[in-house]
Amino acid sequence: MDNVEDVTKNRSVFNKESINVRFVNSDTDSQAVCAEQLVNEITAEHKLVQDFIENVAKEAVDVIADSSLVEKAPEPVLAPKPEMTIVNSAQNLTTSREIKSWNIEAPKQDNQTGMIVLDTLKKYEEVMRPKRPLDKRIAGQQQTNLYQSILRVCREPQNFNKNWELILSRVYENPNNVYGINYVFRSLDQMSGSKLDVQLFTRLMNLIILTCDPDPEVRKLNLKRVSIEKTLAGVSSDVIRNNILGYYRQYVA
């Protein structure tokens, strides 16, 4: 900082002397020109000093950052973000209250998959309801159970449409907002399975959320905001692909 003061002092003296010479040997018009030059020189000098100070400060920060004596904070481990396939936010999806209910009958004995899935959904809705104290391990297991229930429905050609609409109806009713977009993806980092499993879960849930309205016209409209092919990316099972593509084909114009 002493160097900064010396540089400033020397340059200020030099400018003052040179300016005095100009005023002694000039008339009124030339004095105006010199005054303008004075302002420009002072501004330039101020900028040089400021640049010098900033460079010194930056070098000091770089030295501290590189010092082995400084203990660096560990990088935070973030949960993976859900891979969205929707064009717009699911929170802004078009809904209808003209048709207020799916009118889905409870699964019977001849539909064991439907009965198991319904029980899983009810338990999920109870355990995962918002604002309830929740252990991360339990939350991860519940999200895994939800994902496996969806896959169970998708893998079964028989009763697929009926059971898929059972899931759609529960998400539409959305008890306690448990399937809200801000809650349904909150424990992805605790789920069991591969990265593809987590991605497929988020994609299928996006599809379900966007198309859960009981009004077919609304489902058709919202379906334009999601890519079925991207939703099924990485899925090798022909049964799963055929079930989902076959169901939504009726809504594609």
Query: What would the mean pLDDT of 146-155 be, rounded to a whole number?
Result: 97
- Min mean pLDDT across 87-91, 165-169, 234-238 is at 87-91
pLDDT of residue 76: 39
pLDDT in tens, 90-142: 444 555 555 567 888 888 888 999 999 999 999 999 999 988 888 999 999 99
pLDDT of residue 80: 45
pLDDT of residue 18: 41
Q: Looking at per-residue confidence, does 210 or 71 come out higher?
A: 210
What's the pLDDT band for 14 if we cut at 50, 70, 90? very low
Strand partners, 226: 86
pLDDT of residue 197: 94
User: Where do the structural domains in the chain lie, given as residue ranges?
Assistant: 2-66, 90-251
Model confidence at 20: pLDDT above 90: no
Query: What would the mean pLDDT of 205-214 be, rounded to a whole number?
Result: 94
Q: Give the pTM.
A: 0.62
Model confidence at 163: pLDDT above 70: yes
Model confidence at 222: pLDDT above 70: yes
Q: Looking at per-residue confidence, does 118 or 175 come out higher?
A: 118
Query: What would the mean pLDDT of 25-43 be, rounded to a whole number?
Result: 53
pLDDT of residue 79: 43
pLDDT in tens, 226-246: 999 999 998 999 999 999 999
Query: What would the mean pLDDT of 187-199 be, rounded to a whole number?
Result: 93
